[in-house]
A = this chain, B = another copy of it.
C-alpha cells in the first residue's frame, strides 16, 4: 500500500477540516518515512516505548492520536532527538488524527459511548449524552482506571461523556440542559468544579481516548500498542 493511499483512507475516516484551528500543521503525516506500507500499528501517544515496540515489530506506519511534535521546533535535542532518531532511522511513518478524530463519526466519543453501553444517546457540541445503566465501579472497570467522583452520584443515570480534557463550562452547561445527571471526562480543574452545574466523574485522559484507537485497530486488523499510565488510588 502506498503511503498516499493510507493518507487518503484516513482523511475519509477523520477529515482534516473537522480539526480545531490549533491543530493546523499538527495532524496528518507528520513524519515522512517509507513510501510503501505493509505493517501498521496504532497507539494513543508516540511514546519512546510505543515507538520502540513499533520498530521492533517492523511497522512502516504508526497512527497516533497525540502528535509528539506539538511545540514548534527549531532544534532536535534530548528526548525529541532520540525519538525522532528511532522514527526516521527505521523509515517509520507517523500519522496523527487529533481533534478531527474527536469530531468524526465513529471517533473518540463514539467508541466511549459504545464501551459504556450508552442508550438513546444524542451528540453534544463535543461528546455524547446517553442513558447508562452501569455502576460507577463497572465504568471504572471498563475504562480500566480508578475514578474520582465529584459531587453526589449513586448511579450515573443519563451520562455525558467527553474524551480527553473535556471539563469545559460551556459543554457542561449544554450537557445539563440536555438532561445529563453526570459528566464524565478527564482533568477537572478546581475553579471549574466550583461552578459545575452537575456532578463530575473524572477518569484519565488515556482511559477515555485509548478505546477509540484500540477499536479502530481491531476493525482494520492493525496492531494496537498499549501504554497506559502507571496509576493507583490511595486509599
Residues of A within 8 A of B (CB): 25-26, 28-33, 45, 47, 66-67, 69-70, 72-79, 81, 84-85, 88-89, 136-137, 139-140, 146-152, 164-165, 186-191, 193-195, 204-206, 229-235
In the complex, are the beta carbons of B151 and A25 less than 8 A apart?
A: no
In the complex, are the beta carbons of B74 and A73 less than 8 A apart?
A: yes
Q: Smallest distance from the beta carbon of A13 to chain B beta carbons, Å?
A: 20
Measured in the bound complex, the distance between the Cα atoms of B101 and A233 in whole Å is: 30
| 14 pairs of residues in contact across A and B, judged by CB atoms under 8 Å | A29-B75, A30-B75, A30-B76, A31-B77, A72-B74, A73-B74, A76-B84, A79-B195, A85-B89, A139-B234, A146-B233, A147-B234, A190-B204, A193-B229
Which of chain B's residues have a CB closer than 8 A to the CB of A30? Answer: 74-77
Which of chain B's residues have a CB closer than 8 A to the CB of A231? Answer: 148-150
Copies per assembly: 6
Which of chain B's residues have a CB closer than 8 A to the CB of A78? Answer: 32
In the complex, are the beta carbons of A234 and B76 less than 8 A apart?
A: no
Q: Smallest distance from the beta carbon of A3 to chain B beta carbons, Å?
A: 11
Which of chain B's residues have a CB closer than 8 A to the CB of A150? Answer: 229-231
Which of chain B's residues have a CB closer than 8 A to the CB of A204? Answer: 190
* Residue of B89, B190, B232 touching A205 (CB-CB under 8 A): B190
In the complex, are the beta carbons of B70 and A73 less than 8 A apart?
A: no
In the complex, are the beta carbons of B31 and A191 less than 8 A apart?
A: no
Measured in the bound complex, the distance between the Cα atoms of B43 and A147 in whole Å is: 27
Chain B: CB-nearest residue to A66: B191
Which of chain B's residues have a CB closer than 8 A to the CB of A232? Answer: 148-149
* Residue of B67, B72, B81, B139 touching A88 (CB-CB under 8 A): B81
